[in-house]
Amino acid sequence: MVMKEEIQKFFKGEIADDEETLIKYSRDASLFIIRPKLVLFPQDSEDVQNLVKWVGDNKKKYSELSITARCAGTDMSGGAINESLIIDFTKHMNKLISGPSAVGPDGYATITVQPGMFYRDFEKITLKHGLILPCFTASKSLNAMGGMFGNNSAGERTLKYGKTEDYVAGAKVVFSDGVEREVKELSKEEYAKKAGQKDFEGDVYSGIGKLIDANKEEIMKAKPNVHKNSAGYYLWNVERPNGDFDLNRVLIGSQGTLGIATEITFKILPVPKHTRLLVVFLRDISILPDLVNKILKYKPQTLEFYDDKTLLLVFKYIWSFAKLLGIQHFFRLIASFWPEALMTLRHGFPRIVLLVEFTGDTVEVADGLAKKTMEELKTVKGIGFRLTRNKFESEKYWTIRRQAFNLIRFHLKKMKSEPFVDDVIVRPEKLPEFYPALYKILNEYKGEMTFAVGGHSGEGNMHIYTLLDPRDPHLKEIVLKVSSEVYSLVVRLGGSITAEHNDGLVRTPFLPEMYGEKIMALFKQVKDILDPKDIFNPGKKIAVPGGPGTKEYLKAHIAVGK
């Protein structure tokens, strides 16, 4: 291939175009198959800069040329696949650059890493120092740090601690002109100096600043009124409350569509010393908002949930669940469900199970918060609750929340995970209206789709786990129809179509319904300012007419029969 030969002249890392590699990189964790032309493994930042510059210079020669940055490939939205060039950072650019530093007066330490470092390796380093990045994801044993930056990742502790964007102190980013630059929060004076530069960087800062100033009212109206959001570009976050300007706030969560991060400096916190788990069972979803508000007063670090479908499926596959817990004595597990049995007799089978975790520097503080919450919940009718007594009991509930879907997927051999409405969010007070409408939509496909719902109830963020038969001739129509109906419901209730998992190929076609034409036009301007030749991860966030990011492209690239 001529293109490969041209790149080899300046690229130090490996370049692969063999069948096995191309097949592997045609998938991420989404429902798509898209075959790239080349997969590249950069040795260092110089490789990335040279590649970006070459792509920009050769865009006219090879009109479809583009770059998608990829780390662990755990993206569920199709954000890590592309028809042109894939660059994978996990092989070489996976190292610790510096840190962790000492904890400063603000309570944070910092650590700088390359994007290809896996979170599991990152956490080993931080835990040695008693520190943690608290926005870690449920897939923390699999995902990498660059993906967390690109998707603005979050997880079970986000309720208390926030998302990735709250923990990025700075980054080095290769822009579309092929130059690596440091990006950090700038004071008004620093911003004015940067925006006044007569170069590409100056044009970026002045262009984004002017765009925000000219459309500030519309931008703030468009900000989703929910606890977290990964849809679109976060223009409302760039100008900080103190008047500073932080371009990272639009780069984080952009899925590599505006530039490629080559180093990221994260803020990290001391690990909470003690935790205590309170489990709440309820049958009446209408009381959930009031219940959540009562619980939030005591500042839990997590407020998670799973539904009755999840619990029933765990009981159905109880032997396999026991193995997940590493239980040698099966009857110990059966006996551990006795409190649930009693609560079912008193209150009926729960529709929702809430997991409320409290932390403290001492056991007494964590226990005290849990017990105060429990006392307040005694005033609520029709619920059951219990304070776990030991690690085994806590682990049982967390394993259901984290592993139940994998358990289901293992047993339903003909069905495969097909994530497409996997990450919606509405305000907690909207949940009583949302749940019945959601189940009505999903139940229309009972014979063709198995589903369960879990997620972050303190934020109103639901993960809808869908299993379908990939050989079903109606698969593509089901995906488009259910997506349209669920996202219309979410938008009607003032939510976001993605809280954590981002847009990618699976949700970009639905962004105009959420934001409207004017905001989508502003997003397009952001893309044009930072990536005027459309070389970075096309079709994510901004659709390519007739190509990636459209419903037609989505439908055409769903993996059927695989």
Query: Parallel, antiparallel, or unpaired for β 302-307 and 352-360?
Result: antiparallel
Grade residue 560 by pLDDT with cuts at 50, 70 and 90.
confident
In a domain, 469, yes or no: no
**CA gap 562, 558 in Å, rounded:** 10
Question: What is the pLDDT at residue 225?
Answer: 95
**CA gap 72, 89 in Å, rounded:** 8
Grade residue 117 by pLDDT with cuts at 50, 70 and 90.
very high
List the structure tokens of 116: 């290809």
Bridge partners, 454 (sequence order): 306, 463
Q: Examine the domain organization and report whether 153 and 41 are in the same domain.
A: no
pLDDT tens, residue by residue, 1-22: 689 999 999 999 999 999 999 9
Average pLDDT across the chain, whole number: 92
- Residues 223/495, Cβ–Cβ less than 8 Å: no
Residue that has been written with the tokens 């990735």 in this structure: 164
Average the pLDDT over each of 73-87, 114-128, 378-392 and give the range with the smallest value: 378-392
b (16+ CB within 10 A) / e for 45-56? bebbbbbbbbbb
In a domain, 66, yes or no: yes
Question: What is the pLDDT at residue 407?
Answer: 66
Grade residue 454 by pLDDT with cuts at 50, 70 and 90.
confident
Domain boundary among the residues 378, 404, 430 is at: 404
Question: What is the pLDDT at residue 172?
Answer: 98
Grade residue 385 by pLDDT with cuts at 50, 70 and 90.
confident
Say if pTM beats, i.e. exceeds, 0.85. yes
Grade residue 394 by pLDDT with cuts at 50, 70 and 90.
confident
pLDDT tens, residue by residue, 195-239: 999 999 999 999 999 999 999 999 999 999 999 999 999 999 999
- Residues 103/109, Cβ–Cβ less than 8 Å: yes
Question: What is the pLDDT at residue 561?
Answer: 77
CA geometry: angle at 559 spanning 555 and 560, to 5°? 90
**CA gap 303, 155 in Å, rounded:** 11
Kindly state the average pLDDT of the residues 439-463: 90
Look at residue 290 and tell me whether its pLDDT is greater than 90: no
Q: Examine the domain organization and report whether 307 and 293 are in the same domain.
A: yes
Question: What is the pLDDT at residue 417?
Answer: 82
CA geometry: angle at 175 spanning 169 and 181, to 5°? 45
- Cα 439 to Cα 198, 306, 363, 409, 556: the distances in Å are 55, 14, 40, 20, 27
Helices (H), 378-497: 391-411, 431-443, 475-492
Q: For residue 276, which of 367, 402, 375, 161 has the smallest C-alpha distance?
A: 367
Q: Examine the domain organization and report whether 152 and 290 are in the same domain.
A: no
List the structure tokens of 297: 């007063």
**CA gap 354, 432 in Å, rounded:** 15
In a domain, 336, yes or no: yes
Q: Examine the domain organization and report whether 307 and 334 are in the same domain.
A: yes
Tell which wins on pLDDT, 388 or 221: 221
CATH code of the domain in which 40 resides: 3.30.43.10
Domain total in the chain: 3
Q: Examine the domain organization and report whether 225 and 363 are in the same domain.
A: no
Its sign, for the CA torsion 355, 359, 363, 367, is negative
Q: What is the dihedral angle through the alpha carbons of 383, 386, 391, 394, rounded to the nearest 10 degrees? A: 0
Question: What is the pLDDT at residue 391?
Answer: 76
Residue 69's domain comprises 2-88
Kindly state the average pLDDT of the residues 472-501: 97
In a domain, 386, yes or no: yes
Q: Examine the domain organization and report whether 229 and 312 are in the same domain.
A: no
Question: What is the pLDDT at residue 338?
Answer: 67
